[in-house]
Amino acid sequence: MRLEDATVFVTGAGAGIGEATARRCAEEGATVIVTDVNEETASETADAIEDAGGRAVSHTLDVTDGERFHDLVTATAEEYGLDGIVNNAGTGHPPAYTEDLDAGVLEFVLDVNVRGVWHGCRAALPVMKEQGHGAIVNVASLAAILGLPRQAVYSLTKGAVLNFTRAVAAEAGPTGVRANAVCPGFIDTDLGRQYFESRDDPETARARMEAQYPLKRLGEADEIADVALFLLSEESSYVTGHGLVVDGGYSVS
């Protein structure tokens, strides 16, 4: 068991990468604190973990609410301990040229993608520093590395997540706390499928996307969960401040 007796806090765990990460952590022995803005999906993830023999507790959490985030992380640490946190919750925006994106889109995506990760780290760091260990995994994106056309705000926020992760790693390393980011390419989740469904010809749009990847397919949520698990575990004990790109070769094609 790679996370035996550990406690891992996961945001956006009601679906997609967050749900897959919560499951994998539980399979490897962790007690998982499953959080999502959607109470129903958070509960479904936790129930599925427990039905499979794992340990999970679900909570509703809007990551833009810093006070709620802090209180929930503090309560988790007091009751279960806190060995890892995965700041996965995020959002995007429909494809658009930069000049066509209004301030409302900017504020909303910043609030979730940047402030949400900020709140999670600020809540977890005091606990982890005091105990002298802990692993933070922030979910960024390939957009943090390359910048994606017609995804300016999304790219801006994910770039911020990556560099913030590096800053946290530099600050917290001397106390025994590690911080890393995962930078996925296009992953075959409900959110990803919504993108294709927004196109005039979803099947053609998907085929064109897949053709851009050397592996000729989209990534699976479980593949990102496995990377997050590695970064949470002692297998990555000398890895910190790193943005691990998981993109099927897109960035080198």
Predicted local confidence at residue 195, as pLDDT: 78
115 and 192: one domain?
no
Indicate the number of domains in the chain. Answer: 2
- Whether 34 maps to a domain, the answer reads yes
Confidence band, pLDDT 50/70/90 cuts, at residue 144: very high
148 and 101: one domain?
yes
- Whether 231 maps to a domain, the answer reads yes
Q: Which two tokens stand for residue 17?
A: 């990468």
108 and 211: one domain?
no
pLDDT tens-digit map of 32-88: 999 999 999 999 999 999 999 999 999 999 999 999 999 999 999 999 999 999 999
Q: Which two tokens stand for residue 49?
A: 């973990």
- Whether 159 maps to a domain, the answer reads yes
149 and 196: one domain?
no
105 and 214: one domain?
no
- Full residue range of the structural domain in which residue 193 is found: 187-218
- Whether 15 maps to a domain, the answer reads yes
CB 43 within 8 A of CB 56: no
Sort residue 198 into left (φ over 0), alpha (ψ -120 to 50) or beta: alpha
70 and 93: one domain?
yes
Confidence band, pLDDT 50/70/90 cuts, at residue 99: very high
171 and 213: one domain?
no
Confidence band, pLDDT 50/70/90 cuts, at residue 190: confident
- Whether 241 maps to a domain, the answer reads no
pLDDT tens-digit map of 152-177: 999 999 999 999 999 999 999 999 99
Using N-to-C axis directions, what is the helix angle for 152-172 and 116-131, rounded to 10°? 10
Q: Which two tokens stand for residue 67?
A: 């006070």
Rg (CA), the chain: 17
13 and 42: one domain?
yes
pLDDT tens-digit map of 2-37: 999 999 999 999 999 999 999 999 999 999 999 999
The CATH number of residue 150's host domain is 3.40.50.720
For the chain, what percent of residues have pLDDT higher than 70?
Answer: 100
* DSSP letter, residue 173: G
* Dihedral Cα 233, 234, 239, 242, nearest 10 deg: 0
CB 178 within 8 A of CB 136: yes
26 and 42: one domain?
yes
Over the range 90-128, which residues count as b (16 or more CB within 10 Å of their CB) and which as e?
bbbbeeeeeeebeeebeeebbebbbbbbbbbbebbbebb
Q: How many helices (H) and strands (E) does the chain have?
A: 10, 7
Confidence band, pLDDT 50/70/90 cuts, at residue 253: confident
Furthest CA-CA distance within the chain: 53
161 and 93: one domain?
yes
- Whether 123 maps to a domain, the answer reads yes
149 and 137: one domain?
yes
13 and 136: one domain?
yes
Distance CA 175, CA 238 (A): 14
Q: Between residues 95 and 227, which one has the greater pLDDT?
A: 227
- Whether 250 maps to a domain, the answer reads no
pTM of the model: 0.96
- Whether 73 maps to a domain, the answer reads yes
Average pLDDT over residues 94-99: 88
Predicted local confidence at residue 243, as pLDDT: 98
Distance CA 160, CA 178 (A): 18
pLDDT exceeds cutoff 90 at 199: no
Average pLDDT over residues 194-223: 91
Average pLDDT over residues 185-213: 88
pLDDT exceeds cutoff 80 at 191: no
Predicted local confidence at residue 200, as pLDDT: 85
- Identify the helix (H) or strand (E) that includes residue 94: none
What amino acid positions are annotated as catalytic residues?
154
